[in-house]
Each structure stands twice: as structure tokens, then as C-alpha cells.
């Protein structure tokens, strides 16, 4: 198994889309200070670029959720890292690498909703809607893709390939 030679989504295309998302989020949060909740590890690269494309005051928090063993979803989701401070009354924007079955994201959203935020929104770089099992949808989507297993720009296969600048299909 290795990444396709040709990217599915190039680093340039990602950068352009991140700028667009940053503009949209800056407009939507014009009168709200936001807390970006980065879902580790996959959301790291996207969140780092997106944060710099949002021209609004923000704070960062991290959560760590895992549901994947290689290419197979085990169904079990573990939230291993939780926010360091209470988030009651905060405007939360969860930043995810990919929305697949929806199990991971739903678990994260449920945990954050329990903290009584003022608002809770979701931004995902990639969306694979045909794979959805739990009916979760994102407020902001970078790219909608077909049912490919992809790596790069934060996305891994058994912890490999996160560092690739573009997104590739694993073949």
C-alpha cells in the first residue's frame, strides 16, 4: 500500500480552499471570539493553516479521538485527550481532518456539548458522505470526496504519510 503518485488534492488546491474557509469563518464569527477545538492527530495540519486564515481572535484547545486501526473502523471511539479548561459559554469550532462514518466526530461533539458551550460548529477538511453511519454533518467542508482511503496533510495510514503536503489516495 502506498500513496498515489498523483495527488487527489494538491497542496495548492488545499491552500486556496483553506483561504476560502478562513474568509467564511471570519465573516460568520465577526462578533464572536472563537475557540478552535483541534481534533488530534489528523486535524493538526489543517487547523494550523486554517487558524492563520481566520482573521479573528481565537483560543486553541485540543482533543484526541481514535476509532481507526489501519483502514478498518473498529467502531469503538476513545476520547483520550480532553480540553484543559471549562468551555461553558464559549463559541466552539471543532476542526477535523475527515468525516467518515461520523462516529469519532459525534463522540467529540457529544463530549463538547456536555460542557454547555454558547455555540458548537464543525469544520472538516474532507467529507466522505457515502460512508456515513452516524448522521453528523459539518458547517464547513473543505472537499467532498468519494469512498477513497486518503493520506497526507495530516491523514495517516498506520501513522504514516501525515507529513505529505498534498492528499493522495492509498493504493
Q: Order of strands, edge to edge, in the sheet holding 119-127?
A: 72-81, 58-69, 34-40, 91-99, 119-127, 140-144
CB of 134 to ligand IMP, least distance (A): 8
Cβ closest to ligand IMP, residue 87 vs residue 151: 151
By C-alpha distance, which of 42, 10, 36 is closest to 22?
36
Residue 100 is a catalytic residue: yes
b/e map 28-58, b = 16+ CB within 10 Å = bbeeeebbbbbbbbbbbbbbebbbebbebee
Q: What is the nearest approach in angstroms of ligand IMP to the Cβ of residue 169?
A: 9
Of 22, 42, 117, 142, the one binding ligand IMP by CB under 6 A: 42
Q: Which does 150 bind (CB under 5 to 8 A by kind): ligand IMP, Mg ion, none?
A: ligand IMP
CA distance 85 to 136: 25
Name which of 90 and 122 has its Cβ closer to Mg ion: 122
Sites for Mg ion among residues 135-164 (CB under 5 A): 156
Residue 68 in contact with Mg ion, rule: CB under 5 A:
yes
Interaction of residue 166 with ligand IMP, rule CB under 6 A: no
Task: Compute the distance between CA of residue 56 and CA of residue 78 in angstroms, rounded to an integer.
Answer: 31
Q: Which residue is nearest to Mg ion (CB)?
A: 68
Give residues 85-124 in contact with ligand IMP (rule: CB under 6 A). 97-105
Q: Which residues sit at the interface with ligand IMP, rule CB under 6 A?
A: 42, 67-68, 73, 97-105, 149-151, 155-156
* Active-site amino acid positions: 100
Amino acid at each position: 500500500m502506498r500513496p498515489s503518485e498523483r495527488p487527489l488534492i494538491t497542496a495548492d488546491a488545499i491552500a486556496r480552499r483553506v483561504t476560502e474557509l478562513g474568509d467564511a469563518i471570519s465573516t460568520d464569527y465577526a462578533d464572536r471570539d472563537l475557540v478552535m477545538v483541534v481534533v488530534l492527530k489528523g486535524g493538526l495540519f489543517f487547523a494550523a493553516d486554517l487558524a492563520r486564515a481566520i482573521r479573528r481572535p481565537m483560543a486553541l484547545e485540543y482533543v484526541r479521538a481514535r476509532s481507526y486501526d489501519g483502514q478498518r473502523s473498529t467502531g469503538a471511539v476513545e476520547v483520550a485527550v480532553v480540553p484543559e479548561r471549562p468551555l461553558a459559554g464559549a463559541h466552539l469550532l471543532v476542526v477535523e481532518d475527515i468525516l467518515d462514518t461520523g462516529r469519532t466526530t459525534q463522540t467529540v461533539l457529544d463530549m463538547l456539548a456536555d460542557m454547555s458551550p454558547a455555540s458548537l460548529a464543525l469544520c472538516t477538511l474532507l467529507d466522505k458522505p457515502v460512508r456515513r453511519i452516524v448522521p453528523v454533518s459539518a458547517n464547513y467542508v473543505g472537499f467532498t470526496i468519494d469512498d477513497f482511503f486518503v493520506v497526507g496533510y495530516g491523514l495517516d495510514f498506520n501513522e504514516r504519510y501525515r507529513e505529505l503536503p498534498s492528499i493522495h489516495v492509498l493504493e
